[in-house]
Structure 1
Amino acid sequence: MKDRIESLALAVILTVVAVAAGWASFTHVHDWTMRHAPAGTPDAFGWVNAVISELVPVAALLTIKRRRRDGAPIGYPLFLLIAAGTLSLSAQLAVAQPSLSGWLLSAVPALAFMALVKLVFAGTSATRAPVQVEQSKTGPAGDDTGPESSPSTPAVAMLPVRPITRPNGVPIIGQVTR
């Protein structure tokens, strides 16, 4: 039950941040497009350009994830991801006030989106994590005699990692089970 609540809380946080970052990024790309579009270009063109340039990285990431699962090459979707991410970050910086703080504040939406994507997509594998376990080395009656009582290094036990999943069953992050 705790895992489900944590997963739901994480999903809500990710969704809120993604929507906020998306809105800011869409707005910056729209404004940048319209600032450089020919006179008379309809405002819808700016929004279409924003939607295309901001959703291509999402599609590329999903494609990369699927291709990795299938063992297929990821070169082209990785190229699209880098190109679209660069375009988005360029738009963020282009509409910023020309100062270090202006550039940083304007880049926050694109950087937040990239960080969230890394958080979500990097933690989906169910791997095993080493955990140290001390084992008692006493003799038959609990005394420290005999060959079993010699000093030794602690044993390392492998505990399985159980993925935390969204309500639809898609893994979010791994957690050590006990």
Structure 2
Amino acid sequence: MTERTESAVRLVILLAIGTMAGAAAFTHVHDLSVAHGQPHWIGWANAVAVELMAIYLGLELRARRRARRPVGLVASLLVAFALLSLAAQVAEAEPSVWGWIVAAVPSLAFLALVKVVLSNAPATPPAPEPDQPQTDWYDEPQPVEPPPAPVMPPASVMPTTPMMPPASAAVRPPLGVVQPNRPQVVGIIR
């Protein structure tokens, strides 16, 4: 079986389990809400809120892991909404151990499937430092050659004009210009 065919089969299985588990979970949450005095439309609103919130939180958890952000609150909320869905399914079951197990199967299968799919994040190389140039992660580092040393002309070619004094001396006023009783401001030419 080729990898493409295997991926297609996995997608069909994912959609089938997701559809059936979602239908069972939506129905159980709706029926439990209606049985406890909520109108039908609020029962469906509860079902949508509980089930889609669990799916959204799973996707948010994956996005936060990829971005290397904290996942504690999102993971706690995911567990809470998954347990709420599971509790609704078990509450609608026949009050026996086997009734509870059979009622929990769709929700547990869906949760396991979501966990497998969401934990299968693609491997990404670490992001480069912001001030570093983008390079291929697997390239060997190349040695950096120092720049060539400047070539000085021979002494016979050097100019005979006097060189400028250093910059710090060039900005000072000549001696005797500044009166001794005035504060001297260095760096200002008058």
**What is the match of residue 166 of structure 1?**
none
The SS at the match of 2:95 is coil
Distance 2:78 2:116 in 1: 16
**What is the match of residue 3 of structure 1?**
3
Distance 2:64 2:108 in 1: 24
C-alpha displacement at 1:109, in angstroms? 1.3
The SS at the match of 1:105 is helix
**2:60–2:74 CA contact under 8 A, matched in 1:** yes
State how 1:4-153 maps to structure 2 within 5 Å.
4-37=4-37, 41-126=38-123
C-alpha displacement at 1:42, in angstroms? 2.6
C-alpha displacement at 1:119, in angstroms? 1.7
Distance 2:100 2:106 in 1: 11
Distance 1:95 1:33 in 2: 10
C-alpha displacement at 1:126, in angstroms? 4.0
Distance 1:124 1:2 in 2: 21
C-alpha displacement at 1:125, in angstroms? 4.0
Q: In structure 2, list runs of 5 or more residues that go unmatched.
A: 125-190
C-alpha displacement at 1:123, in angstroms? 2.6
Normalised to the residue count of structure 2, the TM-score between the two structures is 0.62
Change (3 A) 1:27 1:102: same
C-alpha displacement at 1:91, in angstroms? 0.3
Residues 52-95 of structure 1, C-alpha deviations (whole Å, 9 max, x = no match): 00011111111110011001001121111011011001101111
Bigger strand fraction: 1
Larger Rg: 2
Letter in 2 for 1:72: R
Letter in 1 for 2:47: A
Q: In structure 1, list runs of 5 or more residues that go unmatched.
A: 128-178
Distance 2:55 2:5 in 1: 26
Distance 1:4 1:48 in 2: 38
Normalised to the residue count of structure 1, the TM-score between the two structures is 0.66
Residues 83-140 of structure 1, C-alpha deviations (whole Å, 9 max, x = no match): 101100110111110101100111111101111012212233449xxxxxxxxxxxxx
**2:32–2:88 CA contact under 8 A, matched in 1:** yes
**2:64–2:71 CA contact under 8 A, matched in 1:** yes
Q: Which runs of 4+ in 1 moved over 6 A?
A: none
